[in-house]
Amino acid sequence: MRWLLAVGMLALAPPVVAQAGPGSGSGVCATKGLVSGRLVRIHGGPEGSVIGPLVACTPEGVVLGPYIGRTEPQVIVPTPLIDRLWVRGDQRHPGLFAGLAVGALAGYSWNAVDASLCGSGTGAPATCPGNRALGAAIGAVVGGFVGWGLGHGFPRWLRRIP
């Protein structure tokens, strides 16, 4: 049973990003989301932890531009000394999914209440279709856009190495 569990864990494990040895920093430069101008946080090197916009990435080192609280205009972190690396991301996808769910529920509820109140108070029976599925679909689309937009404004750090 343990053997089967070990094989399953190895088969489902994410790919390992190994730290490159001295002089071969191409692994760091190929990191997902590491593009020029993006805010990067690096742990390692002579300064410990540094934050700044990415200026350049070479096999020898990662060059970060000026940032609040630093006196140097640029910092070069040698690639072999990088322990951990984060890039600045946002909450667009969680916001989208939360907006879809909340919008669909609100649209469905709005149409359900509207259909139940349509004929109340009058003597004659009213025909109120109250298409709840359409209300849920419209609510989901509107909620998804709102969630995507709001999520874009909430930053977070995305860990890329290791």
- Per domain, the residue ranges of the chain are 16-90, 92-117+125-153
Question: What is the distance between the terminal CA atoms of the chain, rounded to a whole angstrom?
Answer: 30
- Reported pTM: 0.54
Q: Is residue 83 predicted with pLDDT exceeding 70?
A: yes
pLDDT at 43: 84
- Tokens representing 94? 């969680």
Q: Predicted confidence band at 115 (pLDDT cuts at 50, 70, 90)? A: low
Of the listed ranges 52-56, 63-67, 117-121, 148-152, the one predicted with least confidence: 117-121
Residue 106 · residue 143 · CB < 8 Å: yes
The C-alpha angle with vertex 25 and arms to 23 and 76, in degrees rounded to 5, equals 90
Q: What is the pLDDT of residue 47?
A: 72
* Secondary structure element (H or E) that encloses residue 84, with its range: strand 82-90
What is the predicted pLDDT for the residue at 17? 45
- The band of 7, judged by pLDDT with boundaries at 50, 70 and 90, is low
| CATH code at 16-90 | 2.30.30
Residue 140's φ and ψ, nearest 5 degrees, are -65, -40
Whether residue 98 has pLDDT greater than 80: yes
Which of 17-31, 106-120, 122-136 has maximum average pLDDT? 106-120
> Which residues make Cβ contacts (< 8 Å) with residue 100, sequence separation at least 6?
140, 143, 144, 147
CA distance 105 to 132: 10
pLDDT band at 20 (very low <50, low <70, confident <90, very high): very low
More confident residue, 13 or 56: 56
Task: Calculate mean pLDDT across residues 23-32.
Answer: 60
